[in-house]
Structure 1
Amino acid sequence: MIDALMPSQTRSLRNLVVRQRTEAASAPAQVPLPAPAPVAVAASAAPAAPANTTPGEAPSLALAIQFEPNSSRVRPASGAVLGSLVAAMQSPELKASRFIIEGHADGRGAAEHNLRLSQERADEVRLYLVALGVHPSRLRAVGKGASAPVRPGEPAAAENRRVRVVTVE
């Protein structure tokens, strides 16, 4: 995850999938969640979509963050992925970087509704990251609606509902 978000032109790791390891000794450190938080860290992680692969674009990583249907509430199953993202953002390699948290929606529903929902989801992920220790000045939330689908031929595809983290150099 760190390599995918590194602001460098020589990154070699471009297609990253985040998975929790099954061996206790190799499991990533769990980031504790503050007690009054709206979501809980779960035992399983949702996979990440491939990182951006277009030369010249800012480093980014699309995460499969799960939300309640038609809601900005993060499902507990996404806690481990968000915990891993916080750990990457707090690493020495990324500690000075800033990020844009983009919320994306599928093409179902009215464009205005999708834009509002994607902004609310990006805001919710930003709040989660701040609650786990990322300084708020390093994060900006932006809703994109259904304007940039991963699968344009299938507007309702689940892959179009995602959160993308973009490194700002």
Structure 2
Amino acid sequence: MAELEDAINERTKMIYLNNPHNPLGKVFTRAELTAIGNLCVTYGLVLVSDEVYERIVFPSHSVPNADAVHTRVASISPEIFAHTLTVVSLAKLFNATGWRVGFVIGCEVLMRPVIATHLVLAYSSSGPAQEACAVGLREAERLDWWSINARDGKF
């Protein structure tokens, strides 16, 4: 983390984190996430945590820490949550990337500019695609689909 801290200067406003990382498969440990989050707290930075692959963590012997459990960085502490915007893609989780269904989670202060920007830059996916993803989340939890998918390695 010293290298990351050394890269922070007066122009730094944000740290972008992709966890689990695509395409490397790196899953950051809780200790690594805490260190990154604490840097954001210390330096007053926004942490954009791209967690679109949060449920797609496959066991691997060739990728260090690839079989680790994903930790949502914003869940580590209230202080880190206050600096974090979490990005989730339901479309990627369900192999429907063209649907572009997802969401951003964060505290109100960080969400205000996201909402304002979204109103003028983004389009809305279809209602049926949004409903399909909501049903898909419920069913995936009910059927333990995430564990089955990771075990089978089929996605």
Q: TM-score, normalised to structure 1's length?
A: 0.27
Q: Which structure shows the higher helix fraction?
A: 2
Higher RCO (CA < 8 A, seq sep 6+): 1
Q: TM-score, normalised to structure 2's length?
A: 0.29
Greater gyration radius: 2
